[in-house]
Amino acid sequence: MSFLPVIHVFAIFLFSFCSLILAQQPYVGKATTNCSNTDTSTSVLGYSCNRQKAQNHSCQAYLTFRSQPPYNSVSAISALLASDPSQLSQINSVFENATFETNKLVLVPVNCSCSALKNQNNIRTKNLYSGTRITVPLRCACPTKNQTAMSVNYLLSYLVFPGDYVSSISNRFNVNTESTLEANGLSEQNSVIYPFTTLLVPLQDRPSNSQTIAPPPPPPSPTASPAPTSSNKSSDGFKEIENPILKEAEEESEDFLKIISSIAQSLKVYKFRELLDATDGFSPSCWIEGSVYRGTINGYLAAIKRLNGDVSKEIDLLNKINHSNIIRLSGVCFNDGHWYLVYEYAVNGPLSDWIYNNSSDGRILSWTQRIQIIFDVARGLNYLHSFTTPSHVHKDIKCSNILLDSDFRAKIAKFGLARTAEWQEGQFSLTSHIVGTRGYLAPEYLENGIVSTKLDVYAFGVLVLEIMTGKDVAALYEEENMQLSDVLNAVLHEEGQERLRHSMDPSLLGNYPSELAVFMFKLIDSCLKKDPVGRPAMDEIVQYVSRTLNTSLTWESSKSISG
């Protein structure tokens, strides 16, 4: 299965931030992911220029890149990262017309120079839409004077992958771990690194393709046999197992071993003890809902969910998805017959906590926040439908499965029911196993078991209706005592503005542009068509909501000025 990364930007710069110092480059961890950080005193915005007259200097440097379709060929990667294709093919020991296997670590030779990139993108970070052209800096660096004296000729910007350590990265490139720590301002006591940040690897010689092949994992530690006189009781509250993942894997089937092997290459595999420490032993104070707990791992919050049964498909899907509007799976654990999935933590919880008439506790979403959330969900679904191979259907879109981060940006969660939407000779796929939430299920699915992407479109329409009205779909059926189509017909055709005021969430206090509200009800109406062929595709919906969001932002801005 291959997945297309969502990349709309092709202006690439390779740079070090223009600060003339001779020191090594400090590793700043996750600070590089904070878009609002404008601190130029560290290497948050880019590595520092380390040579005199640095702004006129350039050097040969190297990056690493994980191949993903469509960026999985020499020509595509070279064009994306402004590299010479002949050099890229040579250093990776392939022909210029070669295509790499998915997730292959590719070495990318680049000419690194200093560029002052601040304010090159005169747009706000939260107002990026499909088709916008921006400049993307890539982090590279030149050796310092001290490093050159120590025979360091090149610096490789290694993109840290889940499961990487400074020692393992150093060993891969035949570099002393102490040298790598020093090059990044780290120490043995402070050597924590984070996925999707860059670590500089000091090299005396050019890197080679053989170093891109991951070394085999170390053999499991031998388990000491218990002494004949030892008690069967443990002195602790639980029995500690040195490596529960490997122990369980030895006892499971060949399929299970394949799952573990696949996961270990791309996701963090936690020991159960780590999750116990993260959640205070799964304390009630850390409980969120159901079997989900809040945990703290390496100083960062995470959501830890316990699952039973076969979760391999969900893990496999989330492991290969990379989209800002889909919840990120960061790690897994297997212990005592149970899976534990570790997700990014959404601070503001499920959307359902914010829209079902919760004005009494101060949880109110503005009009623009609601449209932004709708746009985010549409983008996430469009990614599933159009940028995964084969196409996938979520099958369980509803308010409680949409999570909100600290900026109220939406992330689609809970992929337990997700499945492929493969067509057979132009026909939709069928199922006799009907699952889901009442009110969100499309008629063709309930009646005939038809599964297609239009199933998600229908549920999306119900979701938008709930966001507009502030009521869950069950309440809409009961209070209005009519079908959803009848409610929409009253707003769009019969009673107009009066019915619109009656239908809109009262917590908005009328603070919304009525013309745009009508547009959204028209979108809902098109999503809830009984015939799935009549419903729009998610890519059309994304464009529709994008325009509505832009107009809403303009409306909000003008309202603030006039107010």
Three-class secondary structure assignment of 313-347: HHHHHHHHCCCCCECCEEEEEEECCEEEEEEECCC
* Residue whose C-alpha is closest to residue 524's, from 508, 506, 503, 510: 503
> How high is the mean pLDDT in each 10-residue block of the chain (563 residues)?
38 41 60 55 57 60 90 89 90 89 90 62 59 72 87 92 85 91 88 85 91 57 42 35 40 50 71 94 91 93 89 84 91 88 94 78 88 97 91 94 95 92 60 76 87 94 94 74 67 72 89 93 93 94 95 88 65
Query: Looking at the domain assignment, is residue 459 inside a domain?
Result: yes
**CATH number of 487's domain:** 1.10.510.10
Determine the Cα–Cα distance for residues 15 and 69; give it in Å rounded to an integer: 26
| Closest alpha carbon to 356 in 476, 516, 251 | 476
**Domain assignment of residue 406, yes or no:** yes
**78 and 133 housed in the same domain:** yes
Same domain, 267 and 145: no
Enter the tokens of residue 209: 């393709």
Q: What is the largest CA-CA distance in the chain?
A: 85
192 plus 67 within the same structural domain: yes
If you search the block for the tokens 């959204």, which residue do you land on? 520
Residue 220, in any domain of the structure = no
Q: Is residue 98 part of a domain?
A: yes
Domain boundaries, position 108 = 2-208
In order of 175, 327, 473, 481, 551, the CA distances from 364 in angstroms are 54, 23, 19, 26, 21
Confirm whether 216 is domain-assigned.
no
Residues 321, 373 share a domain? no
Do 479 and 380 share a structural domain? Answer: yes
Domain shared by 58 and 179, yes or no: yes
> Does the global pTM surpass 0.85?
no
Q: How many CB atoms lie within 10 A of CB 190?
A: 9
pLDDT value of residue 230 = 39
Per the domain annotation, does 422 fall within a domain? yes
Structure token digits, residue 354 = 């914010």
Task: Let me know whether 6 and 95 are in one domain.
Answer: yes
The catalytically annotated residue of 396, 456, 472, 505 is 396
Residues 319, 261 contacting (CB under 8 angstroms)? no
How many structural domains comprise the chain? 3
User: Domain check: are 262 and 373 in the same one?
Assistant: no
The answer to whether 453 and 537 have CB atoms below 8 angstroms apart is yes
Q: Which positions ≥6 away from 520 have C-beta within 8 Å?
A: 371, 374, 464, 468, 548
Tell whether 51 and 160 lie within a shared domain. yes
Same domain, 143 and 249: no
Q: Are residues 458 and 533 in contact, defined by beta-carbon separation less than 8 angstroms?
A: no
What's the pLDDT score for residue 243?
42
524 closest CA partner among 408, 354, 374, 358: 374
**Which residues of 270-327 form beta strands (DSSP E)?**
287-289, 292-297, 300-307
| Shared domain check, 325 and 367 | no
**What pairs with residue 128 in β-bridges?**
none
Phi-psi group of 82: left, alpha or beta (phi > 0 → left; psi -120 to 50 → alpha; rest → beta): left
Distance CA 95, CA 397 (A): 45
CATH code for the domain in which residue 299 is found:
3.30.200.20
Domain-ending residue, one of 186, 208, 230: 208
Give the residue ranges of DSSP H helices in 17-129.
74-81, 85-91
- With respect to residue 221, please indicate whether it lies within any of the assigned structural domains: no
Query: Does the residue 232 lie in any domain?
Result: no
Last residue of a domain, one of 344, 370, 400: 344
CA 385 to chain centre: 16
Last residue of a domain, one of 208, 236, 267: 208
DSSP secondary structure code for residue 402 in this structure = E
- Residue 48's pLDDT is 62
Q: Are residues 545 and 439 in the same domain?
A: yes
> Is residue 361 annotated as part of the catalytic site, yes or no?
no
